[in-house]
Amino acid sequence: MGMAMRRIQVGSALSAFGIGFTVPFLYVYVAQTRDLGAGAAGLVLAVFAVAALVVLPFVGRAIDRRGPLPVLVVASLLSAAGAMALGFSTSEIAALASAALLGAGTAVMAPALATMVVWCSTPQTRTRSFATQFFLQNLGLGIGGLAGGQLVDEHDPSSFVLLFSIEAAMFLVLAAIAASTRLPHAGGISEAVPAGDGGKRGMRSLLKDRAMVQLSVLGFVIFFACYGQFDSGLAAYGVDAAGVSASTLGVALAANTAVIVVAQFAVLKLVERRRRSRVIALVGLIWAFAWAVAGFAGLGHGSQAMATAAFISTYGLFGLGESMLSPTVAPLVADLAPDGMVGQYNSAFALVKQLALAVGPAIGGPMAASLHTPYILTFLLFSLVITVLALRIGPRLTAAQDRPYGAKSRVVAISPAAEGGLIPAAEEAPLPLDARESSTTGENPAPAGI
C-alpha cells in the first residue's frame, strides 16, 4: 500500500470516528439537552439528509474538473464549521443551519474519498483497498460511538460541546491530511467534462451506460432493504414485535460492527477472485435469511431469550453481507466509469444511496410499528430482488469489470521518481477496443466465466 493510500485510509477512519462520536446522540442533543423538542430534532435529522441530496448532484463534476483533493479539503472544513456551530446551537434556526452545513460537508466526503481510492489503486488492488476503507470506517464509527457514549450527559450541554469539538477536530485533521497528500493521477482531469456544458454531456453519458443504470437500481434496493432499516424499521420491529429492550438494540448494532471487523478480510479472500455479480447475488440470499431470522424473533413462539438472540443474529447476518459488498460494489462503480468521469459516477451512486436512506425509514418505520408480518415479508422479498438484479447485471459487465483478477485491465503506472512522494505519473495500458466500448455502452461481448 502506497503512502498516499495509507494517508487516505487514516483520514477516512478519523472522520468516521468523529461522526460516530456525535451522530448517535444528535436526536437526544436537540430534543432534550437543548430542550428544543422532538419536532425540532426530527427537522434537524431531516435537514441533515436533505442537505446531502442537494449537494451530491453537483459534486461529481467538481471532483472530475478539480480533482478529489481540493473538494475533500473544502468538504472537511465545511463539516468542521458545521460541527462546531451545532455544538453551540441553542435555537432551532441555528441547529437547522448547522445541520445543513454538516450534512452537506459529510455527504461530499464519500465520493471524494472514493475517487482518491480509485486514483491510488489498480483494478486488481481496488477490491482490497475499498474493503480496507470500509473496515476502518466501521472501526472508527464503532470506537467513536463507544467513546462518545462515555462522555455524553444529556443534562449537561458542555459535554456535547466537547463531543462536537472533537468531531470538528477530526475533520480538520482530515483536511490537513488531504491538503498534504500527493496523488498518482489515474486519469480524469484532463479528459473531464468541460465546465461550459454544465455537466449535461457527462450525465447523458452516464444515463446511457446500461450497466451503471442497472447498478444504481441495484444499489437503491441494497440500501433501501438493509441500511435504511437499521435505525428505523428494524429497530421499531425489534421493540414492538420481538420485545427486545433499548439496550439490546445497542448490542445488536455492536454485533453488526463486530462481524464486519472480524469477518472483513476473511471474507475478502473468498470474494476478491470471484465474479462480483455472483457475490452480490449471494448477499441477497444471506439477507433474505436474515429477515427470516428476524421474523422468527418477532413472530415465533420461543422464549424471550431466543427472540433476543435471533434479533441480534439478524444484525450479525447483515454485517456479513456488508463485508461482502464493500469490496464489490464500490470498485465496480469505479471500473464502470470512463476516463474523466470517476467523480461523477461515484457521486451519482452516493446520491442513489442517500435517496434510499431517506425513503427506507419513511416506509419501513410505519410498517414495522404496526404491520409486523407484512414488514418482514416485504423486505425478505426485496432481498431476493437483490439476487435477481445482481444476476441480471452480470452479462452486461466485461470480464475485467466482473472479475478483475481474471482479466487484464487498465493499470496505473507510478514512475520510480514518484515512489517517495507519489508524484503523478500518467501511464496507462490500453484497453482492447471491445472493452473500451463496453465501459460506456454497458454491452459485454465476452462475459466473464465463473
Residue 256: alpha-carbon gap to chain centroid: 15
Among 159-163, 188-192, 296-300, 353-357, the least confident range: 188-192
Residue with cell string 457527462: 202
What does the alpha-carbon distance between residue 147 and residue 140 come to, in Å, rounded to a whole number? 10
- Taking 60 as the threshold, does the pLDDT of residue 10 lie above it? yes
Over range 89-93, report the average pLDDT.
93
Contact indicator for 370, 93 with CB cutoff of 8 Å = no
- Taking 50 as the threshold, does the pLDDT of residue 427 lie above it? no
What are the Cα distances from residue 166, in Å, to 36, 151, 157, 433? 23, 11, 14, 51
Given this model, what pLDDT does residue 86 score?
Answer: 94
Assign 108 a pLDDT band (cuts: 50, 70, 90).
very high
Helix (H, G, I), strand (E, B) or coil at 412: strand
Among 132-146, 189-203, 213-227, 384-398, the least confident range: 189-203
- Taking 90 as the threshold, does the pLDDT of residue 218 lie above it? yes
What does the alpha-carbon distance between residue 330 and residue 347 come to, in Å, rounded to a whole number? 11
Given this model, what pLDDT does residue 183 score?
Answer: 78
**Straight-line distance from the first to the last Cα atom of the chain, in angstroms, rounded to the nearest whole number:** 28
Bridge partners (DSSP) of residue 428 are: 412
- Residue (of 128, 111, 107, 93) closest to 50 by Cα position: 107
0.85 exceeded by the pTM?
A: no
Q: Which residues contact 307 (CB under 8 A, 6 or more apart)?
A: 242, 243, 244, 296, 297, 298, 300
- Taking 70 as the threshold, does the pLDDT of residue 22 lie above it? yes
* Mean pLDDT of the chain, nearest integer: 81
Over range 408-420, report the average pLDDT.
37
Over range 104-119, report the average pLDDT.
91
Reported as a single tens digit per residue, the pLDDT across 346-380 is: 999 999 998 988 888 888 878 887 888 899 999 99
**What is the DSSP secondary structure assignment for residue 33, as one 8-state letter?**
I
Percentage, residues of the chain above pLDDT 90: 34
What does the alpha-carbon distance between residue 398 and residue 396 come to, in Å, rounded to a whole number? 7
Residue with cell string 475499498: 130
What does the alpha-carbon distance between residue 306 and residue 308 come to, in Å, rounded to a whole number? 5
Q: What are phi and psi of 302, to 5 degrees?
A: -85, -175
Given this model, what pLDDT does residue 104 score?
Answer: 93
Q: What are phi and psi of 296, to 5 degrees?
A: -65, -40
Instruction: Decide: residue 353, CB within 10 A, 0-12 exposed, 13-18 middle, 19+ buried.
Output: buried
- Grid cell locating 15: 472522520
Listing DSSP states for 247-285 in one string gives HHHHHHHHHHHHHHHHHHHHHHHHHTTS-HHHHHHHHHH
Given this model, what pLDDT does residue 201 score?
Answer: 57
Decide which of 170 and 193 is more confident.
170
Reported as a single tens digit per residue, the pLDDT across 55-79 is: 998 898 899 888 899 999 999 999 9
Residue with cell string 435471533: 310
Reported as a single tens digit per residue, the pLDDT across 247-298 is: 787 788 888 888 988 888 888 888 877 899 999 999 999 999 999 999 988 8
Assign 208 a pLDDT band (cuts: 50, 70, 90).
confident
Given this model, what pLDDT does residue 280 score?
Answer: 95
